[in-house]
Amino acid sequence: MTPIPSTQSTLTRPEIESRILGCLFGNAVGDAYGLATEFMSKESAFAHYGNGPIAFGGDEGHPVWIDSHRGKWDRNDFTDDTDQMLLILQSLQQTANGRLHPTVFARRLKEWSVIGFPEMETPPRGIGYTVGSTLSHPEFRYNPHRASFDIWNSRGRNLAANGAVMRTSVLGVESFWDETRVVENALAAAKVTHADPRSIISALIASVLISRLLRGGGTNEHADSARVWNPRLRDSEYHEELLEYLRRGTDIRTLDTLDPDYERDIGNEFKRKPVKQSVPPTIKYNFFNTVRGIVGGPSAPVSPKVEYSTKRPRAIARDNIGWAGLDNVGEHDAMTALARSVVSDYLFLIKETDVVPASVTITNPALQRTSEEQPRTIQERWAEQLQANCFPESLHKLELGDGEAMGYAYKCVGAGFYAVTRRIDPLPTDPNYEGTCGFFRGVTEVITLEAGDADTNMAVVGSLLGARHGLEGIPQNWWTGLKHFEFLTETFNEFLARVMDSYEEVQAQQ
């Protein structure tokens, strides 16, 4: 059997295109649907929505509970998770060379934090603590990797938030045929706002899994095991290069890494967006509240156009959710093997990193350890936690609704890996849950009702399911019913055309 080149996809062009659009629209759909329970407890979500469904797109269901948080968005609108994915996409489109330049993305992110998206007339809503803190660093625009490290360092080097993972799907699409480039871009983008290795590797493995799905992985376990997805992984020097990249912007080992080279000539080509003179009143209200949320202080009055939900009867749960449920359909062997290969290939970044809390003593974990002993190093604990979260026994084990840890990077990437490695229910009791569309619908309901940081969890889940099953694997009225659908369609199609042209150029040269 002739080995398949690492840069070649076994899919046809239409299949690749469908998966790319599925990945991008899946990110937005998951994000928008998950907003319904974001920051709720699982008990609160059940009180409002029972066991689903939640009204979305053109589908009927329990209406979204509108409060001071959800009132910032219109029906079927997406949050900052997809906004930031779009910012990465626009950064890639600006340079159009297949590389994510950190300073270009940093400046685009900074600009968005001030003016939002003029193209959609939306403000910068939902900025998280880690991203907001890093944005306020005086060196952020010109040395973002240093800025994110300073924030992480000032918080005791224990801030593994999920903000780098929620936006990473597009980096699995860009240059999907070149895994070394996918890895480089994922590292570069994650480190713009997140310095914790746990946040970074979570973004990296999600991106790599998408790239392998676009190359045809996940359908034939034997064929996948024979493929060399990234030839450079065999090279110990490559391992050290990636470990050194984790040190960029830090004072680990040497102060020289605090000011890394960003190819400033590229960064200086940043093109500002035109700002419209008139801003709708609702945007002014929401933008003021966003800024207040970052720097502290009372919120501005909410736009009078927003009508909050008041008391309504406790939701009545369905007797039957219409399918077996995520924990009962079982693993898809080929998908699970593919996902495990991604984690296994890049786990060394966690096991061998020296970017750890300053109080941790780095030792050799291979010395004097028995199978009954607990991990001796923080790197080992991080590695075991990653594997436990990506391959849990059940969805319940992830505790997505845990109020204190809902924003942990491992949780959202774990939700994504768990969902994308499940089988499709062959015998659902409700036709709405048949096939890939029905699977997407059922998974979205189940994970959203776990609550917690549901929009981020579902952004990752949606992008991975879309990359596996394609755009036809998402209910059509969900993605066509998204707020700003026309803008998304134009933006995604322009990006898709450039990526596919680049892919075919590479194939023609082989």
pLDDT at residue 309, as a whole number: 78
What is the Cα–Cα distance from 208 to 214, expressed in whole angstroms?
10
In sequence order, the 6+-apart residues with CB closer than 8 A to the CB of 500 are: 13, 16, 17, 20
Contact status, residue 25 vs residue 78, Cβ threshold 8 Å: no
What are 420-441's pLDDT values in tens digits?
A: 999 999 999 999 999 999 999 9
Percent with pLDDT over 90 in the chain:
82
Binding-site members for Mg(2+) are 79-81, 453, 455-456
What are 153-191's pLDDT values in tens digits?
A: 999 999 999 999 999 999 999 999 999 999 999 999 999
| Residue 479, phi then psi, degrees to nearest 5 | -80, -30
Q: Crossing angle of helices 409-420/435-448, nearest 10°?
A: 150
The DSSP letter of residue 393 is S
Q: Which helix (H) or strand (E) holds 12?
A: none
CATH domain 22-304+331-363+373-509 topology = ADP-ribosylglycohydrolase fold (1.10.4080)
pLDDT at residue 2, as a whole number: 75
Residue 408: beta bridge partners?
161
Within a 10 A sphere around the Cβ of 90, how many other Cβ atoms? 20
Contact status, residue 139 vs residue 146, Cβ threshold 8 Å: yes
Residue 210 has pLDDT above 70, yes or no: yes
Contact status, residue 36 vs residue 44, Cβ threshold 8 Å: no
pLDDT band at 252 (very low <50, low <70, confident <90, very high): confident
Which among 194, 101, 210 is positioned nearest to 149, based on CA atoms?
194
Residue 471 has pLDDT above 90, yes or no: yes
| Residue 40, phi then psi, degrees to nearest 5 | -85, 160
pLDDT band at 510 (very low <50, low <70, confident <90, very high): confident
pLDDT band at 267 (very low <50, low <70, confident <90, very high): very low
Exposure b/e, 165-203, CB count within 10 A at least 16 = b: bbbbbbbbbbbbbbbbbbbbbbbbbbbbbbbbbbbbbbb
What are 19-69's pLDDT values in tens digits?
A: 999 999 999 999 999 999 999 999 999 999 999 999 999 999 999 999 999
Contact status, residue 154 vs residue 146, Cβ threshold 8 Å: no
pLDDT at residue 10, as a whole number: 97
pLDDT at residue 403, as a whole number: 85
pLDDT at residue 112, as a whole number: 97
Q: Which helix (H) or strand (E) holds 503?
A: helix 485-509
When pLDDT is averaged across residues 112-129 and rounded to a whole number, the result is 95
When pLDDT is averaged across residues 230-250 and rounded to a whole number, the result is 96
Domain boundaries, the chain: 22-304+331-363+373-509
What are 281-319's pLDDT values in tens digits?
A: 444 434 434 433 433 333 433 444 567 777 788 899 999
The DSSP letter of residue 15 is H
What are 58-107's pLDDT values in tens digits?
A: 999 999 999 999 999 999 999 999 999 999 999 999 989 999 999 999 99
pTM, entire model: 0.92
| Residue 422, phi then psi, degrees to nearest 5 | -90, 155
Alpha-carbon separation of residue 371 from 366, 376, 378 (angstroms): 11, 12, 17
Q: Which helix (H) or strand (E) holds 164?
A: none
Cα 416 to chain centroid, rounded: 9
Residue 448 has pLDDT above 90, yes or no: yes
Residue 40: beta bridge partners?
452
Tell me the residue type at 23: C
Within a 10 A sphere around the Cβ of 204, how many other Cβ atoms? 29
What is the Cα–Cα distance from 224 to 338, expressed in whole angstroms?
7
Cis omega (within 30 of 0) for bond into 53: yes
pLDDT at residue 305, as a whole number: 59
Residue 62: beta bridge partners?
54
pLDDT at residue 208, as a whole number: 98
Residue 414 has pLDDT above 50, yes or no: yes
Structure tokens at 389: 């979260």
| Residue 167, phi then psi, degrees to nearest 5 | -110, 5
Binding-site members are 79-81, 453, 455-456
Alpha-carbon separation of residue 180 from 116, 422, 500 (angstroms): 32, 28, 18
pLDDT at residue 41, as a whole number: 96
What are 326-384's pLDDT values in tens digits?
A: 999 999 999 999 999 999 999 999 999 999 997 654 444 443 444 555 657 999 999 99
